[in-house]
Amino acid sequence: MSPIIFFDGYCNLCNAAVNWIIKKDKKHVFKFASLQGATAKKHIPTEMQQFDSIILFINDKFYTHLQAVGIICKHLGFPYKLGVIFYTLPKFLYNFIAKNRYRWFGKKETCRLPTAAEKMQFLP
């Protein structure tokens, strides 16, 4: 199974991050699913479904926060794999951004819809 990046489909910052990953993921390693969708409800454990964070599912394990970001960067290859430095950032900084993302970057009324070219990378 391909690694799945679960993201907040309403969050403008999260959608911008997904757009960036899609552009850099030339080998189409990742699949994407919104945290609000059916795939998230089916695969993410109940205790994680209220996460206010990106969730990466890879090799039958879930990763969140900075750890997820670092692993995603690692899989994008050079120079993006240098993003593993995200592991070294304080978790409070990530949490501060996550808690304020709607205020700073805005929120959509509906979840992001993939373009025709992106449809194979998105899960319901």
The string of pLDDT tens digits covering residues 84-111 is: 776 677 778 877 888 888 889 888 777 7
Tokens matching residue 39: 């795939």
Please write down the long-range contacts of 47-53, taking CB distance under 8 Å and 24 or more positions apart.
52/8, 52/98, 52/99, 53/94, 53/98
pLDDT on residue 51: 67
Specify the DSSP element, H or E, that contains 46.
none
Which of the residues in the chain have pLDDT under 70? 49, 51, 83, 86-87, 112
Output the CA torsion sign for 8, 14, 19, 25: negative
Q: What are phi and psi for residue 65, nearest 5 degrees?
A: 55, -135
In the DSSP assignment, the letter for residue 44 is S
> Looking at the 3D structure of the chain, how many domains does it have?
1
pLDDT on residue 118: 83
Q: Indicate left, alpha or beta for 82 from its phi (over 0: left) and psi (-120 to 50: alpha).
A: alpha
Domain with 78 in it: 4-121
pLDDT on residue 102: 82
pLDDT on residue 116: 78
pLDDT on residue 63: 92
Distance between CA atoms of residues 68 and 82, nearest Å: 14
